[in-house]
Structure 1
């Protein structure tokens, strides 16, 4: 009833400062502290995590888009054979548009109209077919 309900190290330190010493003082104090319910209630816990804190990078909705071209598909009315697809990584929002041919200009127009004008400029864009996009339609040579 008159005890201070402190941790093991503090209890041993108090006993040693009073002039008491015995070889198993730390083990005895540890047993007293772990079996006393009031000591468990009033123990001071460390506010520091037991491991190194790993910061999670902030991910904002509509900031990372992946763009890909699907096709050739069955020809639709208006001679549409391809589709431009854009998927937002965080919300999984998908934008799609039918295309007659694959060209850098068509993909730029799709990106500007369907992504930038509607959702703003994204922080990151992933293009799966970036090497095959030129000013010429896909599959046509430069001389044609």
Structure 2
């Protein structure tokens, strides 16, 4: 692998498969390059693979480039807020009618949420009562049976 690297004008460069020299970057530099490429003045909030391709085209390289670009684009708040909405099939909605509270209820888990919250919560557990439409939600760190039992008991 060492034959692919060389020093040029005080910079470490890597020779790509098509003989193009790519400047190698350290962590602080590649974080800045990813930020500019993804959401800078000409950034289009591209996905991870496209962003990696663009950075290579601009002439930069680091060993974990693809993985870092994918993680960076997944963690972009604007992309999460304004990204494409998953479309559900269009079928008529049928309301669930129950005769009294707690006669029917549903639970669901949302997650894994990336990046995790400050307290490392990666999932949200949600319960809904079909009669009153009352909703309870709680962030949790793991989806263990004990965490679910504690939520139900609370």
Q: Give the structure-1-normalised TM-score.
A: 0.37
Computing the radius of gyration over CA atoms, which structure comes out larger, 1 or 2? 1
Which of structures 1 and 2 has the larger relative contact order (alpha carbons within 8 angstroms, sep 6+)? 1
Q: Give the structure-2-normalised TM-score.
A: 0.35
